Each structure stands twice: as C-alpha cells, then as structure tokens.
Amino acid sequence: MIWEAIQRAKSEKLNRNVVWLDLANAYGSIPHEMIQLALRMYHVPEVIQVMPGDYFSGFRMWFSTNDYTTNWINLEVGIALGCTISLILFIMAMEVIFKAAEGSAGPANLGGRC
C-alpha cells in the first residue's frame, strides 16, 4: 500500500510525505563491530575510526525491579539516535550487509553476536 502510493506520487509528480517507523529496531541492532568493519572498509582514517568506538564504549545500562537490580551492562550493539553521525554510521553498516549479499565483499565476522 505504501509502495503503491509512493510509485503513484512519482509517476503523477505528486508531493507525498512518508514517515518510516523503525519497527525492527534497526539502529539498535547494529553491532559495534560492524561499525568498525564499515569504517575500515571505507578507508576512514584510523584517527577517526577510534572515535565511535570510544563514544560507544561508554554506553552502559542497568535494569531494576522491585526485587532485583542488575549490575551495569556494557552495550555492544546499537547506534545512539540523535547524534549527528548516527545516520552516516547506520548507512555505512548497512552497506556492509548489502555488499556481502551481492557477493562483492567477504562475509562479515561479527563475533557471533547477531
């Protein structure tokens, strides 16, 4: 239904506003190792490559109920929304998947976390 509306808008040169919902939590599903792989794959200078790793290494959370509280947990998956570079990192990580699917890149070794 959405696809047809977009195609109709294109063919009839109509304006269409589309809002995409991240029902699969795509941003929250990207392993940090995939981000590093993408940065290397696109020859991002090493001095820049370490920045997202340093940024994401500080992401921690804990859970609490009435009866129990967990210890702090380091997050190894997910891209923070609202950060300017989030979209770029997400697209680069998705390109790793697309290229692997096309067979133009080797398989991504993500440490079995996916």
Judged on CB neighbours under 10 Å (0-12, 13-18, 19+), 59 is middle
pLDDT digits (tens, 9 = 90+) for 26-39: 888 888 899 999 99
Least confident interval from 62-66, 68-72, 87-91, 110-114 = 110-114
DSSP-assigned states of every residue in 8-76: HHHHTT---------TT-TGGG-BHHHHHHHHHHTT--HHHHHHHHHHHHT-EE--B-SS-BPPPEE--
Q: What is the mean pLDDT of residues 44-59?
A: 88
Mean pLDDT throughout 49-68? Answer: 87
pTM of the predicted model as reported, rounded to 2 decimal places: 0.61
User: Which residues, at least 6 apart from 42, have a Cβ–Cβ distance to it below 8 Å?
Assistant: 92, 95
